[in-house]
Structure 1
């Protein structure tokens, strides 16, 4: 499945254990209420209701979508959407945590985004500043760039599918709802998407990466003018006809205040996909570049990266689990800002050259910067992709002693120790880390650095001792 799946397949062939976002995700049966407390309803969608839930182990708030099983909504469709999402690793794409099912429903657990829809923000404030709109669109484009790099077309980009992480001023946006998404090289089964935002070729032929760019262009025009280019037409069929005949009201673009914003929208809404921007081109457009928030390089974050020590596969998995579920939002927000300031092409990973540019700003010494980056990739690139991906960065750039505080280690141990007997067995590891390919994983080797007495399992003391020893190495 796109780059993410092929990368995992390659890594499984070369390396027996793949550490990545999909490791802890699988379709579970059993009692969901053993893992979650349901707090309150958040809303209803076409597929079912969404509730706010609390994860009992981590005490983290999450959103749970409850979907009724039917002929239209079956396990294959749900699995397809979740399989697409579970390989994404980007700060502007909603994170999926777990899947459950019972005899009548599927339950998909996502990260909780408390800031509401981008459309709600627009309705509340009536008018957003152009710089703020450009910053939101930049984040959408970065999310789409990650999707496209992974070989996925979203197919339903619209403000209703853009949520704000919180109600804070500098809150990140997240792209959600991959129910219509498909691999780039797969033909459309039917017309999917929302008529107001759908691209011409998605109606008449097949959607592709440029179709997401069109949808983003319509959304940008809507945010900048408060209107759609359909001359007040509301009938979905008539709107689709206007789009396919190239009869939309391009004059609406002239109502945009600045020339750079006008030029940007025109390139996003070129009728011929060949002349339309790619996501990468859109990210480099002067309107986006001039209005982006530039976070200063934080020397402490880069020093943490430099000091990070290599660790075993199981340690890597534990650290990623802690970073994704237990890191406080203030610390994570600081790291996200640093990550995005270094991720110059917005694809959700730091290449060798992007890391080197960051260290050059500190050292102004090319040889020293090159040496540091080589060491960072050797120790922090857990999945051997020759890049530092978002979840890898969160681990390597964190203060290690904050990441492995005793209460966090205790919670992770309880997660693995399924029967609560004070020992983690290989069977329990397999159950929790169900995203690992069992045939290719040498589980005894995986626990070797934790299993100090060689009895084939990990005691509570062994678990703590191994992680505390690692903390001493990083000080």
Structure 2
């Protein structure tokens, strides 16, 4: 089914005890954040399962998040890739914004590591390849994710990795005259040194750093940079002060050390 990414009005009704938004029947809640919740839903015309991100307009306006939401939507419209969560359409009512997304059943990659521990190198390599394919594609469309971490990587039923949550993504129009991005965002443990240092950064290189941290986590089962004190953490990240566990192969060590180079100029 060809999906459309147009914005349309949504009316929600609850006929027969089931709440409907447009042609979608809402089901259980899959996740909940401060401004949005994600619900499982079924397209009543095609029977297709989807996930609907329901955003509270009032909360979004109150916290001046409208720019971020619009950015997420325009990013998702630009991106069509097998390793990126697909957006089917966007609807809105007076109080809510509904983003209809592809539903994947394999959960977060993060949960997989949390429950099973570290992955074998060939499995980690497979996921890393999916991640790099997705990130490479996004960069070719001028989209930088800026919050890559295992919690934002979902798996489908066939074990295919899908990048999600483009809420912090940057589009080309956010790049300043110096060709760099200037907003500090992301999750501290996964953030590149140049992002922390607030001097402007290349979004593609900063995303690549996060990919390096993710590869380390997949293979080690823990973070390369972890400190309770944020300043100590930032110092470690700035110096790329980490060591690889003994079970990493020499090629994996070499790759991770090349990616987690604190100077963005030398990362190729």
Fold shared by both chains (TM-score > 0.5): yes
Secondary structure at the residue paired with 1:153? Answer: coil
* C-alpha separation in 2, matches of 1:256 and 1:73: 46
* C-alpha separation in 2, matches of 1:173 and 1:255: 27
* Structure with the higher fraction of residues in helix conformation: 1
* C-alpha separation in 1, matches of 2:90 and 2:206: 30
Matched, 1:249 2:241: yes
Matches within 5 A, 1:29-428: 29-32=9-12, 33=20, 34-69=22-57, 70-166=61-157, 168=158, 171-184=159-172, 186-187=175-176, 188=181, 190-204=183-197, 205-207=199-201, 208-230=203-225, 232-244=226-238, 246=239, 248-250=240-242, 252-277=243-268
* C-alpha separation in 1, matches of 2:31 and 2:211: 25
- Which shifted more, 86-95 or 233-242? 233-242
2:4 paired residue number: 24
* Structure with the higher fraction of residues in strand conformation: 2
CA separation of 1:191/1:224 partners in 2, compared to 1, >3 Å: closer, same or farther? same
* C-alpha separation in 1, matches of 2:89 and 2:206: 30
Indicate if the aligned counterparts of 2:182 and 2:200 stay in contact, CA closer than 8 A: no
* C-alpha separation in 1, matches of 2:263 and 2:183: 21
Between the two proteins, the alignment pairs up a number of residues equal to: 249
Cα shift readout 1:258-301 (whole Å, capped 9, x = no counterpart): 10110110111011112113xxxxxxxxxxxxxxxxxxxxxxxx
Following TM superposition, by how much is the alpha carbon of 1:178 offset from its aligned partner in structure 2, in angstroms? 0.7
Cα shift readout 1:375-402 (whole Å, capped 9, x = no counterpart): xxxxxxxxxxxxxxxxxxxxxxxxxxxx
Secondary structure at the residue paired with 1:217? Answer: helix
* C-alpha separation in 2, matches of 1:193 and 1:134: 24
Following TM superposition, by how much is the alpha carbon of 1:255 offset from its aligned partner in structure 2, in angstroms? 3.1
Cα shift readout 1:139-164 (whole Å, capped 9, x = no counterpart): 00000000110111110110001000
* C-alpha separation in 2, matches of 1:163 and 1:46: 20
Indicate if the aligned counterparts of 1:130 and 1:224 stay in contact, CA closer than 8 A: yes
Indicate if the aligned counterparts of 1:254 and 1:262 stay in contact, CA closer than 8 A: no
* C-alpha separation in 1, matches of 2:38 and 2:131: 23
Following TM superposition, by how much is the alpha carbon of 1:45 offset from its aligned partner in structure 2, in angstroms? 2.3
- Which shifted more, 73-82 or 206-215? 73-82
- Structure 2's unaligned 5+ residue stretches are 13-19
RMSD in angstroms over aligned alpha carbons? 1.9
Following TM superposition, by how much is the alpha carbon of 1:114 offset from its aligned partner in structure 2, in angstroms? 0.7
Following TM superposition, by how much is the alpha carbon of 1:229 offset from its aligned partner in structure 2, in angstroms? 2.6
2:15 paired residue number: none
Secondary structure at the residue paired with 1:196? Answer: helix
* C-alpha separation in 1, matches of 2:254 and 2:65: 44
CA separation of 1:253/1:74 partners in 2, compared to 1, >3 Å: closer, same or farther? closer
Cα shift readout 1:62-87 (whole Å, capped 9, x = no counterpart): 00111112233554432221111112
- Structure 1's unaligned 5+ residue stretches are 1-20, 278-475
